[in-house]
Amino acid sequence: MPQSDPNNPETPEGCGFLSQFGKSDESTEWHSPAPAGYQRGRTKFVVVIGTVMSGLGKGIFASSLAKLIKDKGLSVAPIKMEGYLNIDSGTLNPYRHGEVFVLSDGCETDMDLGTYERILNQDLTRKNFVTAGQVYTEVLERERRGGYLGRDVQMIPHVTGTVKMRLRELAMTGNNGKQADVVFVEVGGTAGDYENGFYIEALRELAFEEGPESTCFVALTYILEPSILGEQKSKAAQLGIKRLMEAGIQPNIVACRAKNPVTDKVMEKIAMFSNVPLKRVFSMHDRESVYAIPEAMRAGGLDREILSLLNLHDRTSPAKEDVARTEWLDFSRRIFAPRKHRIELGITGKYAALRDAYASIDKAIEHCSIQLSCDVRTRWIDTSELMDDAQTASALDGVQAVIVPGGFGQRGVEGKIRCVKWARTNKVPFLGICLGFQMAVIEFGRSVLGLAGANSTEFEPNCAHPMISELPDQKKLEGIMGGTMRLGTQEVILEPGSLASFLYNGKTEMRERFRHRYEVEPAYIARLQDAGLRFSGRHPKFPIMQMLELPQTMHPYFVGGQFHPELTSRPLAPNPMFMGLVAAAIASREPEFAQTELGRRWVRSAPRAVTTA
């Protein structure tokens, strides 16, 4: 019998380790596929699993931890594993699952991927997101093609093998085509959920197969603090971690979420019942800002423990860490610094009751408020409740800026159009996003061109003036994913000398992320432009309008994008369209702001008297 060798498929220990799907062997139960050239143990894995309850912020925790490791000069690749059977997040109701976050390659994911992109300052792809629906579909399609050579296909080893293959493929390519130093795995839900059990089993197998010092398991748990008792209770956390241990996972680190700092007594209990050394039990209590969490982790030594557990100290770069840490500390200090300016901003959408539905917009505003030292008070307005102009004026009274965000479906659309009209006629800085861009076109057509029947064929297929419609040749021209949906990063050509070009630092082309299927009807473009509406951003080849604006002789800041600028906003690099909006709002209250260094960059000219359209 050959000597044991984990990379030799002829030996019991390594049998099947480097096999590809479709090369099953009836003589063995080993099924641990990996890409060609994969080296076991080269990439390390940090796995974050929740206990007690969902919604504890696993994404914020995992992305903050990944940032600390990335700051040290290592390459990191996060992945979110969801237990639902949907193929992606594109059809999920925002009220149930928050916003749909679109990646650069067009993959529709949940909002946690936005958290990873913002904190890591790193573009992700569909390789960084997996659902149970994707896994099962891949297994069943392979079975139909005869890929398992007559084997009875089972959860173990075939479904778990598919999960391990996904993780190893990500490890091989990372996010820049090179093998990642560390893959951060976030398992959706909590330990004990039926839908994520196969993920947890696959990760147990992965740790076993990758070998010692390959995998670090983090249990993110919750410490109860009932007000009626006046003390923290750890029993629920103990039982939750026990469920994880029953699945064969021994946590290496326990992170305790709580409202207040976790007491030594509670952490001692957690350590005792989880077999985790006390120095690896951390208090992850509430902070004033999620952007303060990375430094709190660093101060607690969590990053050093990860490096020790995975034997990664020799791959770090102290010089790179010093630069990254200084940059982040400068940013985080400004979060808590006194603000020089103050504005109120109205966000007018139909999911206003749930801020998670507009999570990226909320974050983009926050990024701008920090950079511009402005206290931005957001007023959430449900457009489905705005039945006339008077009601709209009352709802928006006193705001210095208006955002009309994206959305699908007819509910609340007329209210959005009224909000556009109020912002345009009252010369209040305005930003229209996706559907908000389309509503600006319809409002201009109705109010300025006098086209009473102007509408979108999405809402009124037989309207008199279909100013927004689904172009018949769109799918053929674009090669669009998701049926007729136009998804992911697309090029936008900017008109020289336009406000759009000014916002993007004088560029004549840029790239933003799209998620829509309806466009401005080409037959109306000339009439709209003749009346003053300027399409300052266009598709490089086809008659697809991608940005609009009003000249400053008509309005101080009236801008719209068919894309979603909020998806590309980062803490250290806020999106230009949001920066322009907030800066224009500040200048409307404080004209002298336009003469400051920041004002000259983001306010194209000082506010002045304007004429109506």
Catalytic residues: 434, 564, 566
* Through-space distance between the first and last CA atoms of the chain, rounded to whole angstroms: 87
Instruction: Confirm if 570 and 366 have CB atoms less than 8 A apart.
Output: no
Give the number of residues written for the chain.
613
C-alpha torsion 510→514→517→523, nearest 10: -20
Give the span between the Cα atoms of 274 and 237, in whole angstroms.
Answer: 10
- One-letter amino acid at 279 equals K
Closest residue by Cα to residue 303 from 570, 572, 62, 58: 62
DSSP string, 274-309: HT--GGGEEEEE--S-GGGHHHHHHHTTHHHHHHHH
Give the span between the Cα atoms of 389 and 385, in whole angstroms.
Answer: 12
3-class secondary-structure state, position 396: helix
Burial state string for 229-248 with b = 16 or more CB within 10 A and e = fewer than 16? eeebebeebbebbebbeeee
Token pair of 581 as six digits: 């909006």
Residues 6+ apart with CB under 8 A from 356: 94, 98, 99, 111
Instruction: Confirm if 459 and 442 have CB atoms less than 8 A apart.
Output: no
- Is the N-terminal amide bond of 565 cis, ω within 30° of 0? no
Residues 6+ apart with CB under 8 A from 143: 153
C-alpha torsion 200→201→206→211, nearest 10: 100
- Name the burial class of residue 308, with classes exposed (0-12), middle (13-18) and buried (19+) by CB atoms within 10 angstroms of its CB: middle
Instruction: Confirm if 186 and 48 have CB atoms less than 8 A apart.
Output: yes
| Rounded to 5°, angle at Cα 563 from 529 and 574 | 110
Angle 413-425/389-396 helices, nearest 10 degrees?
Answer: 70
- Name the burial class of residue 475, with classes exposed (0-12), middle (13-18) and buried (19+) by CB atoms within 10 angstroms of its CB: middle
Backbone dihedral angles phi then psi of residue 222, each to the nearest 5 degrees: -130, 130
Q: Are strands 486-494 and 534-538 parallel, antiparallel or unpaired?
A: antiparallel
Backbone dihedral angles phi then psi of residue 534, each to the nearest 5 degrees: -110, 125
What is the sign, positive or negative, of the torsion defined by CA atoms of 501, 503, 506, 511?
Answer: negative
